[in-house]
Structure 1
């Protein structure tokens, strides 16, 4: 859907204003070149002055229209953070056990019915992590007297020479901590997982919760995510955007970018763009088999998005869907198109797709406050939500410092940015599988 094709006088004004501002920049450069070469610049100056006059008039009309339309027909509603630990009664006695293959269906049903359940709680995901990255996995579940699942906690051990021995509820992804019917169930699950942590001599266990679990564990809230409520009509979302955001999207759409949304058939294009972008960011890249296996594991709940200019992929995204929420764990674009608005146009196409699929929320993924990605996500009008990561530590244990903001990693990141892409694709997967 190309909303800019719908007749709307206000949008036509904004589109014309955006075009003139870009044209002014071009004319200004031409005038500077003409002056440097002592060539006549009167005609260029005249056109530039006419543009400036029209821009002033358009800005005044746009502002008047904005004042008339302060009352919007739709605006994103306040989001209620889903709680991982509920307040429900459970039929005693409880039994905590390590799940086997036969428990996959009841676990999936429990996760699907839990308000804080995510696709990353699925046994298919933990099986993927174990098979692809060769980590030790245990999926703990709590069962009541009626043999009903009343809580789950997937745990992965990550043990490497570079980064040490520790555990994460579900590494690589944003969610996957404990889900439980009540606090007692949650504590028994964590206690069982902590016994395994001690047995494996891991330094800590990180539980990635969305909201505050209230368990009294040591905690970090150093990451945030952005959730955007979605209306049923894309026009309502479009109208809720600020004029500057709409202009940025239109700029990308004027580049005649072709978008495709599908599955594994786009993996080669996705991985090429993703690998280049990760190198430019100074981040080790996952291997191609990582994404191939994840696509297979998630089935119909995953999509790849490719944006092409002149037939060549320049932007890409990896999408997942679960319940009423679509999430974007990874997105990339090539630096050479960073000024074209291609990435903005891709995100708008993705939001359209999410609404077409009937999702009620779009999750922009985690980031660090005030980072570049933080500012990018905030501009879409999404609600900022703090992530709460709890830590289970041995007595006297310290919180881990394994994150890219740690100063000791700064030099490594700068070196990585200068490596050829083929080298990063060769050695990156061996490193990144040990990073949570």
Structure 2
């Protein structure tokens, strides 16, 4: 247990101290210029001395606040709890597995809402969003007991193209999906039905996206991770848990930032302007603006856009979702020309503040590869890596799919895309990305 003043008082002193040091440096340069030009420097020198005196007094105050503060335990993030997608409840009734119908759509939504392992992407309305936006074939499989109660679900989407092939995903475009079930036997029934649909469609595989190992005995990929950060009830406690270097980077971004906003469709144009440029720079086809508009509408009240500006220009953006106790950031971008300003640091801090204020208990930074720069970026906030397990239903002896940017097959395409004008990338990209998982 350490000793320190309430964070707000101590942090205010530190911020003021940094401001005074910057002022002293600026005044010192003005004194030098005045002397060089033969001007009177008396007034400037007096101001430098006044600021230096204030700095000295404030340094003493900070030391006193550190040494004589109120004793309290420093908040540290708790280990995250990964909920199980497949429970171990007893099942005495026989079950049937059928695609959801209009008569049990509300019951399916309620089942997802009550399942501890569910994500926002498991919801039937998200499957409907994909079908409406891109016209893909979808099935939302429901396992029902004899009494009519739902005991398991599995959302599936078919992606089919000449370029990338024919396959099923639960869920494409998003980080999570797969089976939700009351027990492994029900999960097996849902997977049997999924395999039947795969064969009917002559699809190459079924991809199931989990954030835990459900020991299904299926071929599996584990090369991706997400990062989850437990959140306190007060943003000041979260701020105090950061390393000094991280706080300094956030303050640097705060000095550069002139505006930050969280909202809805009114921010879509600015969000998309930043997001599409960044995707082009990464060599990745971009979703169309309509994709995000429809998703905001579908997740009404559970999705937000964030935009950060420098001198009136949007230079950073994010798409946020919130479901039950967890806020997720599936997409975020900043313009490369502004990375030196640490604008991404202040954007993420403002988003974390918003998550705490909205009462979320976990913040999900989204997925990345273990060797990527984004891995270290997410880790520095104190977040905990959560390994992702993607299971596959495959024909016998068929290899795991290799639809990822590291595949040599796609390296030339990525290099070409990075040199493409943004307007052309925005025109072509949505037609390509809709068939990419």
Structure 1 residues 321 and 10 mapped into 2: Cα distance closer, same or farther (>3 Å)? Answer: closer
**Structure 1 pair 71–143 and aligned structure 2 pair: CA distance change class (3 A):** same
Aligned to 1:40: none
Partner SS for 1:78: coil
Structure-to-structure mapping, 1:101-112, within 5 angstroms: 101-112=102-113
Shift of 1:145: 1.6
- Contact 1:316 / 1:331 at 8 angstroms: preserved in 2? yes
Where do residues 223-234 of structure 1 align in structure 2 (5 Å cutoff)?
Answer: 223-234=224-235
RMSD of equivalent CA atoms: 3.3
Give the distance between the partners of 1:281 and 1:380, measured in 2 at CA: 24
Change (3 A) 1:23 1:382: farther
Q: Where in structure 2 are the equivalents of 1:256-275 lying within 5 Å?
A: 256-275=257-276
- Runs ≥4 residues deviating over 3 A: 5-24, 68-72
| Residue matched to 1:432 | 433
Q: CA deviation at 1:20?
A: 6.5
The answer as to whether partners of 1:10 and 1:65 remain within 8 angstroms in 2 is: no
Q: Cα distance, 1:345 vs. partner?
A: 0.7
Q: Indicate conservation of the 8 Å contact 1:91/1:145, yes or no.
A: no
Distance in 2 separating the partners of 1:15 and 1:230: 27
**For the residues of structure 1 that align with 2:23 and 2:344, how far apart are their CA atoms?**
18
Match of 1:138 in 2: 139
Alignment partners' CA distance in 2, 1:8 and 1:422: 49
Instruction: Give the drift of 1:76.
Output: 0.5
TM-superposed deviation, 1:72: 4.7
Quote how far apart the aligned CAs of 1:9 are.
4.0
Cα 1:19–1:177 change in 2 (3 A) is farther
**Superposition map of 1:125-204 within 5 A:** 125-204=126-205
How far, CA to CA, are the matches of 1:69 and 1:338 in structure 2? 38
**Helix, strand or coil for the counterpart of 1:299?**
coil
| 8 Å Cα contact 1:263/1:303 also seen in 2 | yes
Distance change (3 Å), C-alpha of 1:21 and 1:116:
farther
Residues 405-414 or 312-321, more deviating: 405-414
- Structure 2 CA distance, aligned partners of 1:22 and 1:423? 47
Is contact 1:315-1:332 (8 Å) kept? yes
1:32-71, aligned counterparts within 5 Å?
none
Contact 1:218–1:392 under 8 Å retained in 2: yes
CA 1:201–1:243 in 2, change beyond 3 Å: closer, same or farther?
A: same
Contact 1:18 1:247 (8 Å CA) reproduced: no
Cα displacement string for residues 30-62 of structure 1 (whole angstroms, at most 9, x for unaligned residues) = xxxxxxxxxxxxxxxxx9xxx9xx9xxx9xx99
Distance 1:415 1:287 in 2: 20
Distance 2:257 2:429 in 1: 34
1:387 aligns with 2:388: yes
Task: Report the Cα distance in structure 2 between the residues aligned to 1:312 and 1:14, rounded to whole angstroms.
Answer: 26
Query: Equivalent residue for 2:37?
Result: none
Structure 2: distance between partners of 1:17 and 1:263: 35
Distance 2:216 2:16 in 1: 52
1:430 deviation in Å? 0.6
Query: Of the two, which has the highest radius of gyration?
Result: 2
Q: Are the equivalent residues in 1 in contact too, given 2:224–2:368 (CA < 8 A)?
A: yes
Question: Offset of 1:10 from its aligned partner?
Answer: 6.2
Instruction: Give the Cα separation in 2 of the matches to 1:21 and 1:411.
Output: 47
Task: Give unpaired runs (5+ residues) of structure 2.
Answer: 1-5, 29-47
CA deviations on 1:86-105 (whole Å, 9 max, x unpaired) are: 00012311010011233221
Provide the secondary structure at the position in 2 that maps to 1:339. helix
Q: Distance in 2 between matches of 1:160 and 1:253?
A: 45
1:207-247 Cα deviation digits (max 9, x unpaired): 00111111111111111000010100111100000001111
- SS in structure 2 of the partner of residue 350 of structure 1: helix
Cα distance in 2 for partners of 1:137, 1:169 equals 10
